[in-house]
Amino acid sequence: MNSHRSSQPNVRLHSPAAERNQAQILAELRRVLPRKGLALEIASGTGQHAAHFAVGLHGWHWQPTDAEPQALASIDAWCGGLTNVRPALHLDVLAAARDASQGNMPAPFDAIYCANMLHISPWDTCAALMRLAAQHLTASGVLLLYGPYLEDTVPTAPSNLAFDADLRARDAAWGLRRLADVLQQAQAVGLQIRERVPMPANNLLLVLERAAPSVEKAT
Ligand SMILES: C[S@@+](CC[C@H](N)C(=O)[O-])C[C@H]1O[C@@H](n2cnc3c(N)ncnc32)[C@H](O)[C@@H]1O
């Protein structure tokens, strides 16, 4: 991963959705996370979430990342002056899954946060993300996933069905993911769901943790 720090405010990208949802996500992060720790953000995008959460979670240090160089400059511009945000790093989860050296992380993380990536990237990013999380979370660390999902037992909101159709029209490899499939990928690397938190606009915040190791029965 390469670091990149820009002080130019005009490279700030802006996401209206990130602005709308950041306060409610932060409220949940405050509830779910311990008082302090080191977080890795995957697919930070504009950097608005990183900046907002770093201000709201005083005890936390935040490591933003993204696969797009344009995003790295924007993240650094949004987070300039925040002493608990590290310079953005280039991280493509698919490349990291193919070549372990590209996924080299500066430390184990107490939390890994990833919002709105799984449906705007090929399905393989899910397995890659889970593998990274399993490799780089501390024993008590949590993986936090935010976004819209398809659930077998919950009717999909019309707005999410329309969003899914729009994504698939833009790129056949994109689309809303079935929550059961995501959790299967998590289980394959030893992660399990701890909490499913309904969020505004038919999104979910998912909290995953390491599954307790199974104890073999003595015969
Ligand atoms: C819709 S944006 C979400 C940004 C931000 N997390 C948010 O919720 O506002 C999707 C982001 O996923 C990133 N992304 C797509 N494929 C990726 C990959 N293979 N590895 C890392 N990031 C990826 C894109 O560069 C983009 O910044």
User: Tell me: the pLDDT tens digits for 190-206?
Assistant: 999 999 999 999 999 99
Whether the per-residue pLDDT at 70 is higher than 90: the answer is: yes
67 lines ligand 1 (CB under 6 A): yes
Q: Rounded to two decimals, what is the model's pTM?
A: 0.94
Q: Which CATH class for the 16-60+105-210 domain?
A: alpha beta
Average confidence score pLDDT of the chain: 93
43 lines ligand 1 (CB under 6 A): yes
Show the tokens assigned to 169: 């029209």
The reported pLDDT for the residue numbered 44 is 98
Q: What number does the ligand 1 atom closest to the CA of 71 have? A: 27
Whether the per-residue pLDDT at 1 is higher than 70: the answer is: no
The reported pLDDT for the residue numbered 179 is 98
Using alpha carbons only, give the angle 108, 133, 142 rounded to the nearest 5 degrees: 80
Give the span between the Cα atoms of 107 and 116, in whole angstroms: 24
The reported pLDDT for the residue numbered 97 is 85
Domain boundaries, the chain: 16-60+105-210
Whether the per-residue pLDDT at 67 is higher than 70: the answer is: yes
* Interval between CA 5 and ligand 1 midpoint (Å): 19
The reported pLDDT for the residue numbered 77 is 97
The reported pLDDT for the residue numbered 98 is 84
pLDDT in tens, 106-129: 779 999 999 999 999 999 999 999
